[in-house]
Structure 1
Amino acid sequence: MKAVVIGGGIIGLCSAYYLSEAGYDVTLVDRTDLSDSCSYGNLGMIVPSHFVPLAAPGIVSQGIRWMFNSKSPFYVRPVPTPSLLSWGVKFLRSATEKNVTNATSFLLDINLLSRSLYEDLKDEPGFDFAYEHKGIMMYFRTPQVAEEEVHLAEKAKSMGLDVVSLSKDEAQRLEPEMELDVLGAVHYRCDAHLYPNKLNKQLIRELASRGVNVITGSEVKAIQTKKGQIASIIVGEREISADIFVAAAGAWLPHIMQLAGSNIPLMPGKGYSFTLDNPTQKLNIPAILCEARVAITPMDGKMRYGGTMELGPVNRQVNMNRVQGIVQSVPSYFSNIQLQMPQREEVWYGFRPCSPDGLPYIGYSKQLSNLIVAGGHAMMGLSLGPATGKLVAELASRGGSTSINISAFDPNRFS
């Protein structure tokens, strides 16, 4: 049986990995050279703690306030395209307590599955991606956010997650080199982190060693269908046929689906990061600065800082105001970290693929019976990569039966 995976980010790489493990003859195609996808510059966090979808009550009013601040964590580019307006309407309809309640168990289960698979993968020969299971610290500075985070921690605890709320002094003991200017923190000890740059390169090398045919630098020009199935795809000058096709194209997923005669609501959410190779101060445990929506991860001896969500059409501009917002927020939490603004060429950016309800798309297309959709993971692509790849392989091999319930991730739910 032959499988073609369209997309070479973490979702595509993991899909190819587990399809190969299941015995498929796999071809992976990507429009880039696989050296700088959204999977490289992210913060490397594996987050069972993130069981609340992006579309949640309160995010709309908060997002509107942020939109008028060029340094804020959230921004919508003022380009009112039909796709952005349609996505926005669906997002507004999804940002409800009911959506959060329905999504919680699904997001938790897939995150726990993925963490388990990472723990297996790190012990496989040829893999050493600086995996550490130290948890993640959620730092807060204001009473309102403290109340929200402690409440969420209690919910996480009731769901079986290893989490503890900490006073400032208790948090300080876990970060003795930092000068904390916070009210306290929540330590999600259930979480982990890794160095994505190593992980991606090692997955690519492993795929090559397994005989996976990797085609880079070529876009999918056409998708040819016959009798309700994909017969072949045209990649550059090649025509590639297979039994199963996987659309894992990240922010470019809507384009691939349109070539297949389908529509799927998804918007790119641009994020920025920069990495210090020899930091003067280094955190012991990865951190999220709650009010600022900034993440910091120590990884493989380095420190990576990242954040912001800029919704809009794909663009290659680096908005240094948004990077400045990240830089200026850090000393508000760690007074002994005084960051210098990075040079424009030192700033990485990538496009997170965001669905309107904050849930990924994983499952078969209803229009084409041999097309599996795997995308829309937003900020959790790295966290959910192995689980998604495993589920893709199970869908392909078992005809729809999977090890966890993925009905909430139905890629046809907006059609």
Structure 2
Amino acid sequence: MKAVVIGGGIIGLCSAWYLLQDGWEVTVLDKGDLSNNCSYGNMGMIVPSHFVPLAAPGMVQQGIRWMFNSRSPFYVKPRLSRELFSWGWQFMKSATAAKVEQAAAPLRDINLLSRHLYEQLATTPGFNFGMEQKGIIMYYKTAAVRDEEAHLAEKAVKMGLDAAVLDKAALQQLEPAVQLNVLGGVHYRCDAHLYPNGLMQQLLRALQERGVKITGGQQVEKIISSNGKVKAVITAAGSHTADLFVVAAGSWSAAIARMAGINIPLQPGKGYSVTLNQPAVSLQVPAILCEARVALTPMRGKLRFGGTMEIAPANNTVNMKRVEGIVQSIGQYFENLNITMPDKNEVWHGFRPCTPDGLPFIGYAKGTDNLLLAGGHAMMGLSLGPATGKLIAELAGHQAPSVGISHFSPGRFN
């Protein structure tokens, strides 16, 4: 049985990995050269703690306020677009306490599955991607955010996750080299991190060594289907036939799905990151700065920091005002990290595929029996890569999924 996976990011490669293990003959197609997609510049965090989706109560009002700040962490570019209007309307309908409560357990379960699969992958010969289980720390500076984070930590513990609310003194013991300027933080010891660049390179090599055909420069131009079954994918380089097709093309997944007559609401969310080599002062534990929505991860002697979410058409411009906002916020939490503004050519950017409710699409496309969708993971693509790949392989083999996936149905907005 042959499978074609469209997309060579972490979701596509993990799908190929687990399909291969189940006996499929796999081809991976990517429009780029597979060297610098969204999976390379992310923060490398594995986050069972992230059981609250992007579409949460208060995000609509907060997003409107942030729209008028050029350095804010969240921005929706206003434009006349039926797709954006529909996406925004669905986002508002999803941003309720009830919807967030319903999403908590599914997000926890799929993240825990992914962490377990990463642990297995880390012991596989040929893999050494710097996975460390030190958790992450959510730092806060204000009493209001402290109360919110303490409430979330309490909920996390009730859900079986390892989390502890710490004061500044306790945090300072965990980070002795850094001068903290915070009120406190929550240490989610259930989380982990890794070096994504190493992971991607090793996964590519391992797949190719095992016979998976991986080719770049394969922009999908047409999908041929009939009677609820995809027959072929056409690229500029030729036609690709298979028994199974998986769309895992990140922010371009919606456009590819439309070629098969499938409509899924998906918007690209641009994010930026900068990687410092051998900084004089660094962190021991990955950090998220709550008020600023900025993340920092130490990885193999490097320190990567990043943030922002720009909901706008995919483009390769770098908004240095938003980068400036990231840099300035770090100094407000860590007084001696001494991070200065990078040159524009040092700033990496990528596009996170965002669904209106903050939950990914994992499952068969509505009305088809051989087209699987795997996308919309937003900022959790790296975290959910192995779990998504495992679930895709299970669905392809008509096996019971390892975790419940009803909340991730691609047809839930139709």
CA distance in 2, matches of 1:167, 1:214: 49
CA distance in 1, matches of 2:367, 2:68: 41
CA distance in 2, matches of 1:215, 1:235: 11
- When the two structures are superposed, what TM-score results if normalisation uses the length of structure 2? 0.99
After TM superposition, give the deviation of residue 82 of structure 1 in Å: 1.4
Aligned to 1:144: 144
CA distance in 2, matches of 1:169, 1:367: 56
Aligned to 1:124: 124
Q: Residue type matched to 1:414 in 2?
A: F
The more displaced of 213-222 and 267-276 is: 213-222
After TM superposition, give the deviation of residue 140 of structure 1 in Å: 0.3
Structure 1: where are the runs of 5+ without partners? none
CA distance in 1, matches of 2:80, 2:290: 29
Q: Residue type matched to 2:368 in 1?
A: L
Q: Residue type matched to 2:120 in 1?
A: D
Deviations 1:88-141 (A, max 9, x none): 011001100111011011000000000000000000000000100000000000
Equivalences for residues 154-173 of structure 1 within 5 A: 154-173=154-173
Give yes or no for the alignment of 1:410 onto 2:409: yes
Indicate if the aligned counterparts of 2:267 and 2:311 stay in contact, CA closer than 8 A. yes
Q: Residue type matched to 1:152 in 2?
A: L
Deviations 1:340-392 (A, max 9, x none): 11000000000000000000000001222100100000000000000000000
CA distance in 2, matches of 1:115, 1:237: 37
Aligned to 2:231: 231
Give yes or no for the alignment of 1:74 onto 2:74: yes
Aligned to 1:29: 29
CA distance in 2, matches of 1:231, 1:53: 35
Percent identical among aligned pairs is: 61
After TM superposition, give the deviation of residue 146 of structure 1 in Å: 0.4
After TM superposition, give the deviation of residue 221 of structure 1 in Å: 1.0
Equivalences for residues 297-336 of structure 1 within 5 A: 297-336=297-336
- When the two structures are superposed, what TM-score results if normalisation uses the length of structure 1? 0.99
Q: Residue type matched to 1:101 in 2?
A: E
Q: Residue type matched to 2:303 in 1?
A: M
Structure 2: where are the runs of 5+ without partners? none
CA distance in 2, matches of 1:382, 1:354: 14
CA distance in 2, matches of 1:135, 1:297: 11
After TM superposition, give the deviation of residue 207 of structure 1 in Å: 0.7
CA distance in 2, matches of 1:99, 1:114: 23
Indicate if the aligned counterparts of 2:262 and 2:366 stay in contact, CA closer than 8 A. no
How many residues matched?
414
- RMSD of equivalent CA atoms: 0.7
After TM superposition, give the deviation of residue 304 of structure 1 in Å: 0.2
Indicate if the aligned counterparts of 2:282 and 2:337 stay in contact, CA closer than 8 A. no
CA distance in 2, matches of 1:13, 1:31: 14
Aligned to 1:272: 272
Q: Residue type matched to 1:410 in 2?
A: S
Indicate if the aligned counterparts of 2:11 and 2:386 stay in contact, CA closer than 8 A. yes
Deviant stretches of 4+, over 3 Å: none
After TM superposition, give the deviation of residue 339 of structure 1 in Å: 1.2
Aligned to 2:222: 222
SS at match of 1:149: helix
Q: Residue type matched to 2:127 in 1?
A: F
Indicate if the aligned counterparts of 2:71 and 2:322 stay in contact, CA closer than 8 A. yes
After TM superposition, give the deviation of residue 226 of structure 1 in Å: 2.1
The more displaced of 70-79 and 5-14 is: 70-79
After TM superposition, give the deviation of residue 237 of structure 1 in Å: 3.1
After TM superposition, give the deviation of residue 316 of structure 1 in Å: 1.1
